Amino acid sequence: MRPTSVGILGLGYVLGEQSLPVAEIAGRAEVMREYRMPDRQALWGWDRYRRTERSRADLASESAAGTVVRGGVAPGQIDALVVCCGDGLNYSAQNVFVSELSKRLGLDCEFVTWIGGAGCASLFSAVRVARSLVMADTFRNVLVVGVDKVDNEAARFQRYGVFSDSACSFIVRGEGPTDFTVAGVAVASSLPSLNGSGQDIAQKCMLIQSVFERLGSEKGEFPYEGSVFFGSNVFLPIQDLERSVMPIDGVVHERGNIAPYGHCAGADPFINLFDFYARGDNENMARSVLGSSAHGHFGVMLLERRPTTTG
């Protein structure tokens, strides 16, 4: 029997063990000079970033192991694995990574896929894939793992954000208790923007608006008033621009992690969501909007935070 709804369970994350000052990043001055960025910390919102000496498999397996425990799902109950990684691993390295991750977690699933083409929006693509698999009654528990690590320190500081090393994970399931119900998820790309790294502002704004329109046509009305928005920890002016074209008036924009964490690539919205509810004083904020754009791609997801039995 196909489930009537899909939820997310056991969300968690791991950051690089080193917390370092952005002001000391190699190449920062050169990037700022090239793009004529004023050296004003308060304007951009940066402070520190997270770096690791550990491997991607170390970060991912620690996060995913916590997800399995929090979700109360045995490794043998994981039916499929969806991995997201922005860059740094070719095809062979991806296979080695998945093999190592599966071995450490004790997974025995036969279906594994790798998603990374949408950059920092890739986790929304992963949720969409996992949700489709669950809604089709193909699998019950799909483990989603995202991991990103900067190999070249000179590439850590970019004109749009400061990259940190991290991993995040959660289970997408179609029956049994969940922490969040997925009320809707949409991802799209602006094909003309891809050749220019998505830097055309007008095309970016139109893409964001079109994704929300698509989501509205699929989901119907969503009560944005009183919801919380969790986006990417990119620099504050970019956040302000992207948020300004989103038709989500009345939401609270939560962005307190940009200073201590930096930009954890695609994991940002999920990390910010986790921390917001982990504080324990936000139980009355039941609805969340997650969104992220990257080089001509944009994804958005609507969540309802109520432990739910789906199916």
In angstroms, what CA-CA distances link 309 with 74, 144, 160, 177, 296?
Answer: 18, 20, 40, 5, 36
Average of per-residue pLDDT across 8-34 = 96
pLDDT digits (tens, 9 = 90+) for 29-44: 999 999 999 999 999 9
pLDDT > 50? residue 269: yes
pLDDT digits (tens, 9 = 90+) for 90-146: 889 999 999 999 999 999 998 999 998 888 999 999 999 999 999 999 999 999 999
| DSSP annotation of 116 | -
Average of per-residue pLDDT across 149-175 = 95
pLDDT digits (tens, 9 = 90+) for 198-243: 578 899 999 999 999 999 887 777 888 889 999 999 999 999 999 9
E-only strand ranges, the chain: 7-15, 18-21, 48-51, 80-84, 111-115, 141-148, 166-173, 176-178, 180-189, 228-230, 252-254, 287-294, 297-304, 308-310
pLDDT of residue 178: 93
pLDDT > 60? residue 308: no
CATH class given for the domain over 180-310: alpha beta
Residue type, 179: D
Residue 59 and residue 52 in contact, taking contact as beta carbons nearer than 8 Å:
yes
pLDDT of residue 310: 42
pLDDT of residue 205: 92
pLDDT > 60? residue 147: yes
Q: What's the CA gap between 59 and 16, in Å, rounded?
A: 8
Phi, psi of 299 (to 5 degrees): -130, 150
Average of per-residue pLDDT across 65-93 = 92
Contact partners, residue 202, CB within 8 Å, separation at least 6: none
Kindly report the average pLDDT of the chain as a whole number: 92
Q: What's the CA gap between 125 and 116, in Å, rounded?
A: 9
Average of per-residue pLDDT across 259-277 = 97
pLDDT category at 309 given cuts 50, 70, 90 is: very low
DSSP reduced 3-state for 154 = helix
pLDDT of residue 194: 84
pLDDT of residue 311: 41
pLDDT of residue 189: 92
pLDDT of residue 307: 53
pLDDT of residue 209: 94
- Work out the angle between the directed axes of helices 236-244 and 201-219 (0-180°, nearest 10): 50
In angstroms, what CA-CA distances link 19 with 3, 16, 85, 163?
Answer: 42, 8, 22, 12
- Sort 283 into a burial class: Cβ within 10 Å, 0-12 / 13-18 / 19+: exposed
pLDDT above 70 coverage of the chain, percent: 97
CATH of 7-175, one of 1.10.579.10, 3.40.47.10, 3.65.10.10, 3.40.50.300: 3.40.47.10
Average of per-residue pLDDT across 19-33 = 95
CA-wise closest residue to 119 among 139, 152, 148, 99: 148
Domain ranges of the chain: 7-175, 180-310
